[in-house]
Structure 1
Amino acid sequence: MESALNQLKKFTVVVADTGDFNAIDEYKHPAPDKRRKMESALNQLKKFTVVVADTGDFNAIDEYKPQDATTNPSLILAAAKMPAYQSLLDQAIKYGIAKGGTEEEQVAHTMDKLFVSFGLEILKKVPGRVSTEVDARLSFDKDEMVAKALKLIALYEEAGISKERVLIKLSSTWEGIQAGKELEEKHGVHCNMTLLFSFAQAVACAEAKVTLISPFVGRILDWYKENTDRKSYEPHEDPGVISVTKIYNYYKKFGYSTVVMGASFRNTGEVKALAGCDLLTISPGLLAELSQDHSSITEMLSEEKAKACDLKKIHLDEKDFRWQHNEDRMAVEKLSDGIRKFAADAIKLETMIKEKMLSVKNGQ
């Protein structure tokens, strides 16, 4: 937007109240660097943090040029309803039917193919990696999570994509974390632990040496607004921001290899308050706001600051993990709620697939 001074000159003769010739020159003919609009908050953020698009919409990825992209069943369901992506759904259904078996098996093959098809299209548009999620209904079955992850990786490899460009998303249950450990150690498959709300989950993920965690910021804020008398928070007071900051500092202080990708943002204030985090996955709506925002961004998180934090290293076995996670009411409720919601959207997607599959079989 044009400066207030230049707008004022349209309505009023502006007189400099000064004897300083330099000041007169400056405000009559601003220096080139003062005329130049400050770069967007999004571009500034990218100097401190890897920006990841939290979407299945390829157009949004094209527009905001993130390094990576992440999807989940809810995002794929939303994208699959868009006319622009019907061809991917149709191709996946043909694949599922061709694989044969029972209707349930055909639907399962179609779902896997659809998730990977979206991932393949995304990888054409980002230089980095895509996250593809294992069905949330498997969240308490380690072996089934491992099997599903390996099937997804096989589909990517059949399409010529190395597993190095894929992150398998798993729910951060105890079973999910152990599935991540097995996939990393035995199969060289990189994992993104999602639905992470408690410090206990973060510690267990670090000890499992998974590649990446996605602690949820906005959903933590949602819980506090719903369950306390306080309804608004400044970014530095935001309980989600505080949670991710503590996790980041703990990881950096003790040299864990697992990296932190803040997720589930409700506003750009939360994003800015975590500038410097390893990665941030941001929705298209907030990416748009950040691209139009020209305020100054400051690095809030850094390894140097983390090293100076007063944190003690802890170890969690299964019983310690379950107890400490259970002690965090917010985390228990949000983890179970997140699993239910992702599962519900997976069921909706399956229902859509069954209807379309029936039409194809009937020659409609």
Structure 2
Amino acid sequence: MNLLEQLKSMTIVVADTGDIESIAQYQPRDTTTNPSLLLKAAQMPQYAHLLDQSIAFADSLGGSEDGKLQACMDKLAVSFGKEILQIVPGRVSTEVDARLSFDTEATIAKARHLIELYEADGISRNRILIKIASTWEGIKAAETLEKEGIHCNLTLLFGFGQAVACAKAGVTLISPFVGRIHDWYLKDRGVKSIEPTDDPGVHSVQRIYNYFKKYGFKTEVMGASFRNTGEILELAGCDLLTISPELLGELQKADGKLERKLSPESAKKQDVPETAMDEKTFRWMLNEDAMATEKLAEGIRKFAADIVKLEQFVGKRMKQAVGV
């Protein structure tokens, strides 16, 4: 078996893309999307019909131009998700607007609306993960949503405190960002490379995985944002790993024996103290972690900027559709 096939035998592989053709090629169980991936996919000719359908849907609702734009954006995200779910057997992650990252109630409302759109299209909420930034407000929103049977993927997760808070809130899944942690430490250390075995992003996921399994938390750990296949191989055995089509291709072409690095059995043997968590503790732990503080803020800004770009693209197409 190649390395991708071996990895799939011990870890759930998730495709980090909005490109439906790539998803079909690598056959992951789940997939994740975000505004930048949707923007890229929405500009591909083969997906123009999804945008056209979303524009028609929004136009049928009437109301203000801004209201129509938001309706089209939500419908487009759900339309891509629905297409993806015709290929993958598992779940798709659909992201809440990053500009709502510090608004618990607005995040809850947006998540409920996205689920309503999916269910109106005949898609069960059990196949959807609502993607929310791992702010305190986002985690509190997820805690409420999980109680309603709306499953959440907490993203932009860089610090251990964020992970513990998510687990205690009962969220379905977290996405620690390996590559972005890697990037921060490259700059901080003034080096050009870090070996996968010494990679702080890899170590972060290992620590979180071992802690969750040690104390019996049900929250799934999905390593994300990889810079190279070496990082991925060091996390073989993690619950899930979300991987770009480029790195999936490299793994598919590579041979060799893959060693399992993470397992519940080894995690239970770890000597790690349990961490208490409340809002004050969360904010202090985040404040004390310069990397996590900076990368969380930067990630929210970038996702928000991607949303604006997608809105501009969709808004332009909406005007063209009505001949303005």
Task: Please give the alpha-carbon distance, in whole angstroms, between the structure 2 residues aligned to 1:77 and 1:299.
Answer: 36
User: Aligned pair 1:178/2:173, yes or no?
Assistant: no
Which residue of structure 2 aligns with residue 64 of structure 1?
A: 26
Task: Please give the alpha-carbon distance, in whole angstroms, between the structure 1 residues aligned to 2:170 and 2:192.
Answer: 37
Which residue of structure 2 aligns with residue 230 of structure 1?
A: 191
User: Aligned pair 1:251/2:212, yes or no?
Assistant: yes
Instruction: Report the Cα offset of residue 229 of structure 1.
Output: 2.1
Which residue of structure 2 aligns with residue 6 of structure 1?
A: none
Task: Please give the alpha-carbon distance, in whole angstroms, between the structure 1 residues aligned to 2:251 and 2:302.
Answer: 28
User: Aligned pair 1:315/2:276, yes or no?
Assistant: yes
Task: Please give the alpha-carbon distance, in whole angstroms, between the structure 2 residues aligned to 1:271 and 1:314.
Answer: 27
Q: Does the CA contact (< 8 Å) of 2:181 and 2:291 recur in 1?
A: yes
Give runs of aligned pairs for residues 114-133 of structure 1, distance below 5 A. Answer: 114-133=76-95
Q: Does the CA contact (< 8 Å) of 2:225 and 2:243 recur in 1?
A: yes
Task: Please give the alpha-carbon distance, in whole angstroms, between the structure 2 residues aligned to 1:357 and 1:230.
Answer: 46
Which residue of structure 2 aligns with residue 143 of structure 1?
A: 105
Instruction: Report the Cα offset of residue 321 of structure 1.
Output: 0.4
Instruction: Report the Cα offset of residue 230 of structure 1.
Output: 2.8
User: What TM-score does the superposition give when structure 1 sets the normalisation length?
Assistant: 0.88
Task: Please give the alpha-carbon distance, in whole angstroms, between the structure 2 residues aligned to 1:104 and 1:125.
Answer: 33
Which residue of structure 1 aligns with residue 265 of structure 2?
A: 304
User: Aligned pair 1:107/2:101, yes or no?
Assistant: no
Task: Please give the alpha-carbon distance, in whole angstroms, between the structure 2 residues aligned to 1:81 and 1:303.
Answer: 42
Structure 2 counterpart SS, 1:169: strand
How many matched pairs? 324
Q: Once the two structures are superposed, what CA deviation does each residue of 1:162-209 show, in whole Å capped at 9, x if it has no partner?
A: 100100000000000000000001x11000000000000000000001
Q: Which amino acid aligns with 2:142?
A: G
Instruction: Provide runs of 4+ in structure 1 moved above 3 Å.
Output: none
Which residue of structure 1 aligns with residue 127 of structure 2?
A: 165
Structure 2 counterpart SS, 1:257: coil
Larger radius of gyration: 1
Task: Please give the alpha-carbon distance, in whole angstroms, between the structure 2 residues aligned to 1:246 and 1:64.
Answer: 29
Structure 1 counterpart SS, 2:9: helix
Which residue of structure 1 aligns with residue 301 of structure 2?
A: 340
Q: Once the two structures are superposed, what CA deviation does each residue of 1:243-300 show, in whole Å capped at 9, x if it has no partner?
A: 0000000000000010100000000000000000000000000000000001211100
Task: Please give the alpha-carbon distance, in whole angstroms, between the structure 2 residues aligned to 1:360 and 1:109.
Answer: 15
Which residue of structure 2 aligns with residue 361 of structure 1?
A: 322
Instruction: Report the Cα offset of residue 231 of structure 1.
Output: 2.5
Which residue of structure 2 aligns with residue 268 of structure 1?
A: 229
Which residue of structure 2 aligns with residue 24 of structure 1?
A: none
Instruction: Report the Cα offset of residue 147 of structure 1.
Output: 0.3
Instruction: Report the Cα offset of residue 100 of structure 1.
Output: 1.4
Which residue of structure 1 aligns with residue 161 of structure 2?
A: 200
Task: Please give the alpha-carbon distance, in whole angstroms, between the structure 2 residues aligned to 1:198 and 1:325.
Answer: 7
Q: Which amino acid aligns with 1:309?
A: Q
User: What TM-score does the superposition give when structure 2 sets the normalisation length?
Assistant: 0.99
Bigger relative contact order, structure 1 or 2, given CA contacts below 8 A and separation 6+?
Answer: 2
Q: Give unpaired runs (5+ residues) of structure 2.
A: none
Q: Does the CA contact (< 8 Å) of 2:172 and 2:218 recur in 1?
A: yes
Q: Does the CA contact (< 8 Å) of 2:186 and 2:194 recur in 1?
A: no
Task: Please give the alpha-carbon distance, in whole angstroms, between the structure 1 residues aligned to 2:171 and 2:26.
Answer: 28
